[in-house]
Amino acid sequence: MTNQTTATEFLLMAFSDDRDAQILHSVMFLFIYLTTLVGNILIMTTVALDHHLHRPMYFFLTNLSFLDVCYISTTVPKSIAISLTNNKLISFAGCVTQVFLVITFVGAEITLLTVMTYDRYVAICYPLQYRLIMNWEACIQMAAASWISSMVHAFLETTVTFKLSFCRSNIIGQFFCDMPQLQKISCSDTKVCEVLSFVLGLSVSSFCIVFIFASYGFIFSVVLRTPSAQSRCKALSTCTPHLAVFSLFLITAVFSYLRPKSLSSPTVDLVSAILYTVLPPVLNPIIYILRNKDIQKAVWLIPSKLKSFIA
């Protein structure tokens, strides 16, 4: 038997070893990161300053914006630092933290989108009972349940992952600590870890996806029976941004986790990771700002509201 030591730090794969390419990557990621911060903070500020937006729909949207800021901040700044300094090291504790946070935010994203679907379902299918069902206590409980359940899920997955031994290699083929990549470099038996990840991920995602599709089935059936064309357009205008955001998240997640192994390669793995960790946070606020008229109106009123607030 040869002596085996578990890695105490890891090396994250850079996008390129060419210095010019590293600078280009850092500039592009910095632009994406700043765009994400500006867009999501703009939504949170707009909702906070406009009392007309103090409604359940925008309460959940604020949660989603805060989530997206945290989500992209978990991976992108470290990747920018790697490109600028060419220091690919990440500590064991740092890697554990990244895995835990990424799983938490991915889980919170889909559960929050599910809760937002329920909000639209109640608003359109039961408008007279909306205020009673979607009261503030219920909204806070649903948001809290989304965050807490995602953290519990992440804790289980992270604990099982880092019980593995990493004595074969400490090079992670990704720009952040990704759980599937950690399983690849482990010298332990990863079957339990893989089965647990598959079962937990499939059960949570299946429930959320089925619930969202079923809810939109009821929503569209009610909307299509509405005699007024103006009412139909108003109802659909509150649903299309959420449906677009959900579709974006679903497509990127399916491509990342459910594509055939024959399509897996270092380049494809890298692209898929960018799709589900970077693309949703940067596009979500853009979709809501462009497609939601209430947000658009409130954004234009921010300068005057800030002036009156300062005065």
- 2 belongs to a structural domain: no
**pLDDT block averages, 10 residues each, the chain of length 311:** 61 79 90 95 91 92 95 94 88 93 93 94 92 95 95 93 84 87 84 84 86 92 84 80 86 72 73 85 88 84 70 57
- Check residue 240 and give its pLDDT: 85
Does residue 130 belong to any structural domain of this protein?
A: yes
Closest residue by Cα to residue 170 from 262, 91, 238, 100: 91
Q: Is residue 101 part of a domain?
A: yes
Residue 240 domain flag? yes
pTM comes to 0.89
Q: What domain count does the chain have?
A: 1
In a domain, 44, yes or no: yes
Q: Return the CATH number at 52.
A: 1.20.1070.10
Q: In which domain, by residue range, is 51 found?
A: 9-310
Q: Is residue 3 part of a domain?
A: no
Q: Is 49 a domain residue?
A: yes
User: Quick check: is 155 in a domain?
Assistant: yes
